[in-house]
Amino acid sequence: MSVAVLFDKKYVFFGGKGGTGKTTCAAAFSLKASERGKRILLVSTDPAHSLSDIFDKTIGPKGAQILDNLFALEVDPEIEAKKYIEGVKRQLSGAVSSVVIDALQKQIDAAYMSPGSEEAAIFDKFIEVMEEAEKSFDMVVFDTAPTGHTLRLLSLPKLLDLWINGLIEKREKALKLFQRASGVVKEDPILRILQKRKTLFEKAWDVLSDHEKTAFVFVVTPERLSVFETERALKYLESSGIKVAGIVINGVIPRELSGNFVDKRKEVQEKYINVIYEKFGDKVLTKIELLDKDVWGLMDLRIIADMLIAG
C-alpha cells in the first residue's frame, strides 16, 4: 500500500501519539494533494494550533489561503464550545415557554459543560465543515490532537446519539401526557430540533465510518510508547466500527548515518520498525526520515511530502 490510496478520499484524518509528526504529515500530504490539482481544506482540531507555525502564516478560526488550491483552518475548541451552547439555547428559546427552557437548558449545560464539551464543539464544527466541503472542496484533511483527545472526539457521535435519544424519549412522553390531558395534538418545535440534531450526528457517523470516503492515518515513530499507543488506538477504533486506512512511520534515522550514539538509536528504531511491521504490516504506507532540522515552511514540507509519497 502507498499514500496514493488516500488521494481519492474525501476526508483524511492524521492521528497518533503527541509529537509524532501528525501536523507535519497532514500539512505535507495536503500540500502534495493540492499540487495535484485538488482543492484542499486542511483543518486543525488540536487545541494547540500548530498549522500557523508550520506554514509561518496566521490562520486562526476564520481560515486562510495558503496556496492556489490549499486552504487551512484552525478550529478553536473554546470558542466553538461557547458558540455551540449559545446556538442551541437561542434555537430553543424561540420555541417554548421559559419554564420548559430552564429544564432543558440544565440538561444542555450538563452535557456540554462537562469534560468533553470541547470535543463536542469540535464535532459540531466537523459537521459544519463537512457540509461546506461537499460543495467547495475536493478533500478535507484533519490534523488531529494526540490520540486520547481524538478517540474521545470520534466516540462522540454515538454518545451524543444516546443523549439525544434520551431527550427525545422524555419529550415524547411529556407530549403524550399533554395530548391525553388536553386532547390537543400539535407539532412540537423542541422535538423537531432534537430530531434534526440526531439526523446530523447520524450523518456524521455515516461519513466517519464510510471507508470509501474517509481514511484514518496514524503517524507512529519507531519507539516503544508510540507503537503501543497506536496499537491500542487501532483496536479501539476498529471495535467501534472505524477501520484505520494506514500507518506512516516518521522520524526514521537515515541509513547512511553512523557513529556510536546514532548506531544505538538506529538499533532501537530497527527493533520497533520490525514490531510495527509485525503488528500492522499491511497497513504501513511509508517511512519518513528524520531531517536534520525542524520542519516548517513550504520547502521543508515538500521534502517531507516527497518521502511521504515515495512509499
Ligand X SMILES: Nc1ncnc2c1ncn2[C@@H]1O[C@H](COP(=O)(O)OP(=O)(O)OP(=O)(O)O)[C@@H](O)[C@H]1O
Q: Which residues make up the interface to ligand X (CB under 6 A)?
A: 16, 18-24, 46, 50, 146, 250-251, 288, 290-291, 294-295, 304
291 contact, one of Mg ion, ligand X, none, CB 5-8 Å limit per kind = ligand X
Calpha distance 125→142 (Å, rounded): 12
Which of 109/300 has CB closer to Mg ion? 300
User: How many amino acids of this chain bind Mg ion (CB under 5 A)?
Assistant: 3
Which of ligand X, Mg ion, none lies near 246, with the C-beta cut-off 5 to 8 A by kind?
A: none
* C-beta closer to Mg ion: residue 17 or 197: 17
- By CB under 5 A, is residue 23 in contact with Mg ion? yes
Give the one entry of ligand X, Mg ion, none that residue 250 binds, where binding means its C-beta sits below a cut-off of 5 to 8 angstroms depending on kind. Answer: ligand X
CA distance 170 to 261: 65
Cβ closest to ligand X, residue 23 vs residue 230: 23
**Distance (Å, rounded) from C-alpha 73 to C-alpha 44?**
6
Residue 125 binds which entry of ligand X, Mg ion, none, with Cβ cut-offs from 5 to 8 Å by kind?
A: none
Closer to ligand X by Cβ: residue 120 or 288: 288
Provide, rounded to whole angstroms, the least separation between the CB of residue 311 and ligand X.
15
- Rounded distance, CA 311 to CA 297, Å? 22
Give the span between the Cα atoms of 31 and 50, in whole angstroms. 16
Indicate the angle between helix axes 117-136 and 77-93, nearest 10 degrees: 90
**CB-based contacts of 202, cutoff 8 Å, min separation 6:** 157, 161
Closest distance between ligand X and the C-beta of residue 191, in Å? 41
Query: Of 145, 134, 120, 110, nearest to 26 (Cα)?
Result: 145
- 3-state helix/strand/coil string of 45-57: CCCCCCHHHHHCC
State the Cα–Cα distance between residues 10 and 33, nearest whole angstrom.
12
Q: Is 69 a binder of Mg ion (CB under 5 A)?
A: no
Query: In the complex, what is the shortest distance from the CB of residue 294 to Mg ion, in angstroms, rounded to a whole number?
Result: 13
Compute the distance between CA of residue 26 and CA of residue 73 in angstroms, rounded to an integer.
13
Scored b (16 or more CB within 10 A) or e, 201-217 reads beebbebbbeeeebbbb
Residue with smallest beta-carbon separation from Mg ion: 23
- From ligand X, Mg ion, none, interface partner of 164 (C-beta below 5 to 8 A by class): none
**Is the CB of 16 or the CB of 246 nearer to Mg ion?**
16
| Minimum distance of ligand X from residue 85's CB (angstroms) | 26
Q: Is 30 in the site for Mg ion (CB under 5 A)?
A: no
Which span sits near Mg ion by CB under 5 A: 21-29, 69-77, 104-112, 192-200?
21-29
Does position 226 interact with Mg ion (CB under 5 A)? The reply is no
Identify each DSSP E strand in the chain by its residue range. 11-15, 40-44, 64-67, 70-74, 139-143, 214-220, 244-252, 284-289
147 contacts Mg ion (rule: CB under 5 A): no
Q: Which is nearer to ligand X, 34 or 50 (CB)?
A: 50
From ligand X, Mg ion, none, interface partner of 226 (C-beta below 5 to 8 A by class)? none
Q: Is 45:78 a contact under the CB 8 Å cutoff? A: no
Q: With respect to ligand X, which residue has the nearer C-beta, 21 or 116? A: 21
Return the number of the residue (116 or 251) whose C-beta is nearest ligand X.
Answer: 251
Interacting residue ranges for Mg ion, rule: CB under 5 A: 22-23, 50
